[in-house]
Amino acid sequence: GAVVSQHPSRVICKSGTSVKIECRSLDFQATTMFWYRQFPKQSLMLMATSNEGSKATYEQGVEKDKFLINHASLTLSTLTVTSAHPEDSSFYICSARPGPSSGNTIYFGEGSWLTVV
């Protein structure tokens, strides 16, 4: 079945550095992927829509210069947290949908825990 994979699953970085999280669709092509952030005990918050070959669309309140999204191929989207701060520590999850023939199911990646120290 369709699978979405994220890497790394856990990452610790120092304040001020940048960290990249990858989201891959393993057996389908995804022209659109979505990035969410989830703080402890809170729900998923949609951050941005990643569009293959074009600029990402960011939700209101999300800093596009801080959360860089690159969707360079039909199976890979990356989220780069630039100049990370401790308040960026969170669970980041991506999602993708194989296409209309897959019905209404969307698939989520395993998530990536980011800790900024």
Partner 1 sequence: GQNIDQPTEMTATEGAIVQINCTYQTSGFNGLFWYQQHAGEAPTFLSYNVLDGLEEKGRFSSFLSRSKGYSYLLLKELQMKDSASYLCAVRDLYNFNKFYFGSGTKLNVKP
Q: Which is nearer to partner 1, 84 or 109 (CB)?
A: 109
Q: Tokens at residue 77, please?
A: 């989207």
Q: Please state whether the peptide bond connecting residue 8 to the residue before it is cis, i.e. omega within 30 degrees of 0.
A: yes
Q: Which is nearer to partner 1, 53 or 100 (CB)?
A: 100
Q: Tokens at residue 47, please?
A: 């951050």
116 is a contact residue toward partner 1 (CB under 8 A): no
Binding mask 76-95 for partner 1 (x = CB under 8 A): ---------------x-x-x
Q: Which residue, among 22, 47, 44, has the nearest Cα to 34 in the 3D structure?
A: 47
CB 33 within 8 A of CB 24: no
Q: Which residues bind partner 1 (CB under 8 A)?
A: 32, 34, 36, 41-46, 49, 91, 93, 95-97, 100, 104-106, 108-111, 113
